Amino acid sequence: MSGVPIPWGSTRLDRRPGTVVEVASVSLGLYTTPPVSHLELAARIPGYRPGMLEAAFAAREVVGLRTLRGSGFLIPTHLLPVTVTATRERNLPSFAAYVERLLTTADYGTWSSRIDDVMSDGVARTVSEIKAAINPPEADRKALNFVINQMATECRIVGTGLQKGWRSAENALARWDDWLPGVRVDGDPAAARERLAVLYLTAWG
């Protein structure tokens, strides 16, 4: 084992002191859904406490976003231009057609506009709170989960990490422009994919 390099972000065998954003930057693949996010960080950071992730979210150093394989990941804010630009082109069609097949009382444009109106006050809300504010017909209530997922993929909303407890999966969402003003994700996709591949392979081998 002594001659085999161990990537810091991928194992607990080389647990050096570090911050949440440093570990998330190296790992490039930590899930954002609690408690998994806390357990992944605890395996990598000596003396980790849930408040460390909460502080990183509050400082907007990391966010929860659907990137990479289309799942929700913990993404350092400084890597958003790379990860989003590299993956959005592939991810955008993933839910679009599916969402339209699920919706029955209104189309995606209508529901996403209503969600955007609700979120325009700048208050972060959970999915449950968004649904309560909109009060959709029962036929479309479940489909709104996919509407919200698509809005996140389009970088219209973003996971803020604000929760009711470290085991809660109720991640509050905010409008991208309110939570991340000035963060642009409209670069060259090919260049971003190349950069992301280098970062990922450096971390995981």
How confident is the model over 70-91, as pLDDT tens digits?
578 899 999 999 999 998 888 8
pLDDT of residue 1: 40
Average pLDDT value over all residues in the chain = 85
Phi, then psi, of 87 in degrees rounded to 5: -115, -20
- Give the pairing of strands 62-67 and 173-175: unpaired
Give me the residues paired with residue 62 across strands. Answer: 76
Rounded to an integer, the average pLDDT of 147-173 is 81
Sheet holding 173-175, edge to edge: 71-76, 62-67, 157-159, 173-175
pLDDT of residue 198: 92
Of 87-91, 119-123, 164-168, 200-204, minimum mean pLDDT range: 164-168
